Amino acid sequence: MEWQKVTGQRVGDHYFKGSHPTGLTIYLYPKESGNTSYAIFGAKYGSIDNCFRRSDEPGPESVPEGIAHYLEHKLFESEDGDAFSRFAQTGASANAYTSFESTCYLFSCTDRLYESLEILLDFVQAPYFTKETVAKEQGIIGQEIKMYDDDPQWRVMFNYLRAMYHAHPIRLDIAGTVESIAQITPEYLYRCYNTFYNLHNMALVVVGRFDLEKVTALCDKMLKPCAPVRVDRVFPEEPETVVQPQVEERLAVALPLFQFGFKCGSAPRTEKDLAAMEILLDVLASEASPLFRKLLDDGLVNESSFSYEFFEGAGYATVLFGGESRNPQAVAQAINQEVARLGQEGIPEEAFQRAKRALYGENVAALNSASSIANGVLSLSLKGRELFTYIDALAAVTAADVAQSLQALREDRSVLSVIGPLEK
């Protein structure tokens, strides 16, 4: 296979990108300065992919919620034991996670990289499901679901998403429900595995110290050919409106928790769009912003818990703020007022330049971390984006771009989710 050298002119780093004959996209990012190597093998398959259409079949198919997360649990098992035990023998630290849009398997190590990489490529391509092991896992995942049902941070977020989205599966729990996982069979698992764990739908990233030829040879040895099947996600139509502007629930918390934010449409976004929104949020709510100082001075938030992010993906996008507050409604009102003020008065040039420099610096500093690089490259790749292009977009964003992003923050498309303390 041939490697393309991709260079970030602004940051002085580079990586190698290759398309393996099996269809897998591979990124090799040399990082000689650190002692740790990091590898992540991911599929573009997450909890929102409950309805899909294969390019080799005529129509869409729906499956029970929670299969992506279920597969993540089951893939570590085999007839001969589990992958964690194999990683322990090489000294690597392994893990996995399922998100709304991807499932990823990873490890970090200080030596024996090639042995650990062989384990990773082996077990992810070797599914083993039986009725007995599937039934056993249903109890384990059922307990996990019930645990999250009692987690205030989890509940405040999913209450927020359910109040915002009418139909998009982003409103559904990543692990599914006790009822939905009861429907999962080995046949469903193999069906979804063979659909989404197709190497044409996956990517591999290796960061650290490695020999390019050795990694290439290992991939040639371990990767299994598969048909070039394309998978299209099928989502129900989602209105631009929210379901309800406010939702509240009570659990065992000392102070009310809140998530407040805006529904921002579903159009695909470029790296430039993402960069503009990130800068806007820094202008709006960072520790240097007038809004944050006001919230802090009025005793409405505490410095340690207040957060903000732009959360977006296939068919969904929301700007959200969260934390603890004795008066979440007042926080929401203050955010709406600040958005309106910036819309009327414009974004100060000084605040724009400060936010732009801060975010650019954070992204460049993240290139010193093997795990940050690997997760960032993989996440961007599965969404059709590129790391250095995003950094260049941050440098090129204008105040006008940021002002344009502000228009997506509409009060009539906002939601406030609150978890209050139990009544005495």
**Separation between Cα atoms, residue 127 and residue 142, nearest integer Å:** 21
Asked, colleague to colleague, whether 3-233 and 246-421 share their fold, the answer is: yes
Q: What is the DSSP string of 227-267?
A: ----EEE------SS-S-SEEEEEES-SS-EEEEEEE----
pLDDT band at 267 (very low <50, low <70, confident <90, very high): confident
Alpha-carbon dihedral angle through residues 74, 76, 78, 80, given to the nearest 10 degrees: -150
Please provide the DSSP assignment of 313-328 as one string: ETTEEEEEEEEE-S-H
Computed over every residue of the chain, the mean pLDDT equals 94
Burial of 248 per CB tally in 10 Å (0-12, 13-18, 19+): middle
pLDDT tens by residue, 163-199: 999 999 999 999 999 999 999 999 999 999 999 999 9
With a cut of 80, say whether residue 119 has pLDDT above it.
Answer: yes
Catalytic residues: 72
- Write down the architecture of domain 246-421 according to CATH: 2-Layer Sandwich (3.30)
- pLDDT-based confidence at residue 342 (cuts at 50, 70, 90): very high
Element spanning 75, H or E = helix 67-75
Position 82 scores a pLDDT of: 87
Mean pLDDT of 215-227: 95
**What pLDDT, on the 0 to 100 scale, is given for residue 310?**
96
For the cut 70, the answer to whether the pLDDT of residue 130 exceeds it is yes
Instruction: Tell me which amino acid residue 68 is.
Output: A
Strand partners, 202: 43
User: CA-to-CA distance for 235 and 233, rounded, in angstroms?
Assistant: 6
Domain 3-233 CATH (choose: 3.30.830.10, 3.40.1350.10, 3.90.1150.10, 3.40.50.970): 3.30.830.10
What is the model's pLDDT at position 163?
A: 98
The strand ranges marked E within 85-224 are 93-98, 103-109, 202-208
List, in order, residues 6 or more apart from 69 with CB less than 8 Å away: 47, 98, 103, 141, 174, 175, 176
User: b/e for 136-156, b at 16 or more Cβ within 10 A?
Assistant: ebbeebbeebeeeeeebeebb
Per-residue pLDDT at 424: 67
Parse the chain into domains and list their residue ranges. 3-233, 246-421
Torsions phi, psi of 7, nearest 5? -115, 135
CA distances (Å), 393 to each of 14, 260, 365, 390, 399, in order? 17, 27, 16, 5, 13
State yes or no: pLDDT of 240 exceeds 90: yes
Q: Is pLDDT above 70 for 227?
A: yes
